[in-house]
Amino acid sequence: MNKPIARLAVVGTSMMVLLVVATTYWQAWAAGGLADRQENQIERVAQFTIKRGRIVTKDPAAVLARNRPKRVAGRTLFFRQYPPGGLAAHVVGYSTQARYRTGLERSRNDYLTASNQNLSTLLESSLDKLKGATIEGNDLVLTLNMRAQRAALQGLAGRCGSVVALEPQTGKVLVMASFPTYDQNVIEGNYGALQRIQAPCNPVAPLYNRATYGLYAPGSTYKVVTAAAAIDSGRYTAGSRFHDPGYCEVYGRRVNNYDTTRPFGNVDLRQALVNSINSVFCNIGKELGSKLLVEYSKRFGFYETPPLETPDNERVASGLYDDGKLFDPKLDSDVDVGRFAFGQERLLVTPLQMAMVVGAVANGGVVMEPRVIDRILSPKGTILTRSRADELRRAVKRETAATVASMMRAVVESGTGTAAQVPGLVVGGKTGTAETGVAGTNNAWFIAFAGRERPEVAIAVVLEQQNGTGGQLAAPIARTVLQALLPGAANS
Amino acid sequence: MTRYAVPYADPYLLPMVALLSAIGVTMIYRLNPDDAFRQSLWIVLGVLLFALTLLTLRRDYRIVESYKYLFGLGALVVLALPALPGIGQTINGARLWVKIGPLQFQPGEFAKIMLIVFLAGYLRDKREVLAQGRLKDFGPLLVIWGASMLVLVQTNDLGSALLQFGIFLAMVYVATGRVTYAAAGLVLFVIGAAAIYTVVPRVESRVSVWLDPWADADGAGYQSIQSLFSIGNGGFGGTGLGRGTFTTTDGNAIIPFLNTDFIYSAIAQELGLVGSAALLLVFMLFVARGMRVALMADDGFSKLLAAGLTFGFALQAFIIVGGVLRVIPLTGITLPFVSYGGSSVVANFVLLAGLMLVSNRANARA
């Protein structure tokens, strides 16, 4: 019987060898793939054993996300807490077990959990892991000004819409407000509370960052782009003469001014912008053609998702939309260029994009990449990365930008945007009242730059589904935010 | 004690079992201190029964051979117990528990040993005639085996069914030395398995989870997948004892039955490849030593007994660890000496006693 026993012994020991091989497979070969799987509960829990970095602002100092330690089954887990309860919810986002992550909490998770491929962080966190110490993440310092952020939300005053303010020379995002907003602290335990948020717009969609994900017809604010294109192409100057009969004809159809009963008669381009005369821009559009207009839009950043540190899927590109998709006209006749030229047709833009447009005008024609993270600090407080001001591209010539800026200043001095005047500040702006196709539900816009001597802020304000005009409704919000951003100005 | 009862027994078997039990208790303590206390009590009881077995059978254990039919019958009765109304208990979808008053146990573990004793005795008697292949001699074997399979399938205890069938095949092979029998048995098994696959929904779901656990990651495949995550998380060196992750952020267990069926995935996470490979190596050494006992034994009954006990031990470890590692479909069964479970610990100490008795006799004569 010894021969079969010996064979059986081989079978028995081989089974154990096979198990060692299988264990090696799972622990060495497949381990990485397993860790990346979304269903992995251990990895999900492991994220909470890390003391995530905080998200803060420095000027004025405020904490936007911090940790709340809690003992669970003999270990300390760190859960997120968001003190301002919705003040910058769309930028910061949330990090929870139940709903995963959004906002910077998602896109900068690697830095916040110290798992980024930075040599010193990596070394430190693996040392911590060996020692069994708690891994500490890195802090994000944002460029937001929370005083102005609060002013923006108060200015929106329960109306749906968004405010974006940038520093034109650097692209720093100073304000990024979106209403309705939500309290990030309810996401984990009380997600249903989101459904009960009410706001006078449809859809309410409190989770959307309207500043980067909301698409609105820009209306007359787009005339800034049209005017810049007209002058930059060399075909017009600020003094070019026009005759306004109160309407303009495109392909045999009449396009009316905002107020058709009071035609302006003989005007120049500057006066056309100051009084926001549709017929003039309609005629400029016909002259330039839609392809050139699209070309200039692209120079300002249209037709690409604007760069920002928030997740890619929380931002959208601006441009002509057809059936929910961006569309780039092949022929001039693909688009009703007359209406396109004053921001109607199928043109849809994000508030961030319009802030970039006005930022470029205020920055000598150069569009800066918007950014909301100023620097990233290690747990010890040393700076890991500091974000630099990066040019997106030059949109128009310096002289063009200067001309358009002076025209915009005239809008606030004596035109449709007088509500945005701030004592001690030089303000240039453009109003917009975009028709959405449903009567009495206009988008009220105001875009502006402002500063004590040179422009220090570029701002875009939009309100959804309003009855009034941009000059009446949106410009005062811009004024409040500008006062919060440039507090010294009111005294001088 | 062992020096008194079995002075010539293999000196490695008992220390290896002590090591396995210690690893088991340590891991169970880390997962649930109350269970570890109970497990320690079971080990004490197991050692007592181990000692009792050695003492009563130390002169000549081979007297049990005379009672082989009693053991065979006993195995069937014990296996059928959970199916009896009144004392049978269904836990986690398998009816394999018996509850008499406060006492609750899994008789399947003991039936395994009784079956091995019966097979050793019966096959020793009939091995020559069996080798000639006369069908009528297979009668009692097939009856015992068929009945036990029926009972097992009826109680839904697929792991034990697989184990007992494997032991049966291995012992017939050792007795007859004919590979064709083992091969025919395997073919029979595949046919039977295919039949069961279509009839018993539990088997069907186990197999489909085995083939693709990701298809229903939150449902049927959940346990298997999270167990793999646990193993993967261990990596080469493991997280360290007490540093593994077995609960969600709200304190619920991620893997159900972690300290019984899935203790290997807990060990693999905290001790890593190094630790789990070492554990498997202990199992392998035990198997090697056990087979050595079978080789050294000089009568057919002893050889069959030692080989059967050892192979049973190896196969049981393979079925559960292989199931956890997705080498084979997962069926719930304990990892000998390591998993939490009283019946398993006590029965396996009796198994150890059997091996030591055989080796004592073999070495004493050498």
The ipTM (two decimal places) reads: 0.93
Residue B314 with chain A: CB contacts under 8 Å: 12-13, 15-16
The answer to whether B13 and B359 are in contact (CB under 8 A) is yes
Question: Which of B288, B316, B290 shows the shortest CA–CA distance to B304?
Answer: B290
- CA–CA separation, A219 vs A446, rounded Å? 10
* Residue B167: count of CB within 10 angstroms of its CB: 23
CA A354 vs CA A219, A303, A431, B93: distances in Å:
11, 13, 12, 63
Residues of chain A positioned with their CB less than 8 A from the CB of B286: none
Dihedral, B274, B238, A27, B231 alpha carbons, nearest 10: 120
Q: Locate tokens 């009283």: which residue?
A: B342
pLDDT at A492 (0 to 100) = 45
Average pLDDT in the B175-197 region? Answer: 79
The answer to whether B284 contacts A6, with C-beta atoms less than 8 Å apart, is: no
Distance separating alpha carbons of residues B16 and A87, to the nearest angstrom: 63
Q: At what angle do helices B108-132 and B342-365 cross, to 10 degrees?
A: 40
Residues of chain B with Cβ-Cβ distance to A23 below 8 Å are: 231, 268, 273, 276-277, 280, 325
Site from A13, A20, A68 to mutate, B interface, most B CB atoms within 10 angstroms: A20
The type of residue at A230 is A
Å between B87 CA and nearest CA of chain A = 36
Domain ranges of chain B: 2-365
Residues of chain B neighbouring A19 (CB-CB closer than 8 A): 280, 317-318, 321-322, 325, 327
Which one of A23, A79, A132 has the shortest CB-CB distance to B240?
A: A132
Question: What local confidence, expressed as pLDDT, does residue B102 receive?
Answer: 62
**Whole-prediction pTM value?**
0.70
Smallest Cβ distance to A15: which of B250, B300, B314? B314
What's the start-to-end Cα distance of chain B, in Å?
22
Best of A16, A39, A75 to disrupt the B interface (most B CBs within 10 Å) is: A16
Go through the domains of chain A in sequence order and give each one's CATH number. Answer: 41-142 (3.90.1310.10), 146-183+198-373+389-491 (3.40.710.10)
Q: Confidence class of residue B103 from pLDDT cuts 50, 70 and 90?
A: low
**Calpha distance A437→A417 (Å, rounded):** 24
Whole-angstrom CA distances from A282 to A235, A237, A256, A345, A403 are 15, 16, 10, 12, 20
Question: To the nearest 10°, the Cα dihedral for B185, B190, B194, B196?
Answer: 40
Residues from chain B that touch A16, judged by Cβ atoms under 8 A, are 280-281, 283-284, 287, 314, 317-318
pLDDT in tens, chain A (492 residues): 789 999 999 999 999 999 999 999 999 888 888 887 878 888 888 778 888 899 999 888 899 999 988 887 777 888 889 987 688 999 999 988 766 789 999 999 888 888 765 566 666 666 666 666 777 889 999 999 999 999 999 999 889 999 999 999 999 999 999 989 999 888 877 778 888 888 888 788 899 999 999 999 998 999 999 999 999 999 998 888 888 888 888 777 777 777 777 788 888 999 999 988 888 999 899 889 889 999 999 999 999 999 999 999 999 999 999 888 998 888 877 888 888 888 888 899 999 999 999 999 999 999 999 999 999 998 888 888 898 899 999 999 999 999 999 999 999 988 888 888 888 899 999 998 887 777 768 889 999 999 988 999 999 999 998 888 888 899 999 999 999 998 875 544
pLDDT score recorded for residue A157: 86
pLDDT at position A453 is 86
Helix axes B201-211, B179-199, angle to 10 degrees: 100
CB within 8 Å of A276: residues ≥ 6 apart:
A220, A223, A258, A411, A415, A416, A430, A431
Residue A329: predicted pLDDT: 86
Let me know: does B8 contact B364? Beta carbons within 8 Å. Answer: yes
Q: How many CA atoms lie within 13 A of A344 on its CB side?
A: 20
